[in-house]
Amino acid sequence: MRAKGLETAIRVGGAVVVTAAALLAAVLESFLVPYYIAGIAVPLAGAIAFVANWRLAALAVYWTGGRWSVILTSLTWFAVVLLASMPTGAGSLVIGSGFNGYMLLLAGTAGIALALWQYFRPRPNAKAPSAVGPRPPAQATPTATKESRP
């Protein structure tokens, strides 16, 4: 009984840690949206969002042992990004409508979509024979024997 409680604590702790990591990643990505090098928009936030959303989902599944934990990281990221893209009462916002802002939204959503596909895609039926799976044992065939000379 004690091992089960420890396992549950690890799973809940893992869920809390990956949710906090998704929150931190979304805030960091939001503030990296206006990133320019020599006047050229560089979609660094979008690249980080794609990789972070995809791999944080994998980490969540690993730590919690359930594929539904992908939803934790996805909803956390979407909540932060949606709040950062809404203007405040004074009219300021973190994620502006420009190339980098759209790339953040597109790439982050693509990372989440890839993670969802990876963990929720339909799997082939385990009972159906597979073309690459193990083959049934071959039936024994009698071996040819040489006839003895008379």
Instruction: Please report whether residue 103 resides in a domain.
Output: yes
Domain with 17 in it: 2-120
pLDDT of 107 strictly over 60: yes
Two structure tokens written together for 79: 């909540």
Mapped onto helix, strand or coil, the DSSP state of residue 41 is strand
Mean of the per-residue pLDDT values of the chain: 85
Cα distance between residue 8 and residue 35, in whole Å: 41
pLDDT of residue 123: 80
The CA distance from 73 to 68, in Å, is: 10
Residue 12, number of CB atoms within 10 A of its CB: 12
Instruction: Categorize the per-residue pLDDT at 145 as very low, low, confident or very high, splitting at 50, 70 and 90.
Output: low
Contacts of 20 (CB under 8 A, 6+ apart): none
Two tokens, residue 57: 């989902």
**Is residue 139 in a domain?**
no
Does any domain span residue 12? yes
What's the number of domains the chain is made of? 1
In a domain, 136, yes or no: no
Task: Give this prediction's pTM.
Answer: 0.75
* Residue 140 belongs to some domain of the structure: no
Please check whether residue 145 lies inside any domain of the structure.
Answer: no
Q: Are 64 and 11 in contact (CB under 8 A)?
A: yes
**What is the structure's pLDDT at 18?**
95
- pLDDT per residue over 65-75, tens digit each? 889 999 999 99
User: Is the per-residue pLDDT at 124 higher than 90?
Assistant: no
Asked whether the predicted pLDDT for residue 113 surpasses 60, the reply is: yes
Q: Specify if 143 maps to a domain.
A: no
Residue 133 lies in a domain: no
Q: In angstroms, rounded to a whole number, what is the distance separating the alpha carbons of residues 80 and 106?
A: 15
Q: Is 49 exposed, middle or buried (0-12, 13-18, 19+ CB in 10 A)?
A: buried
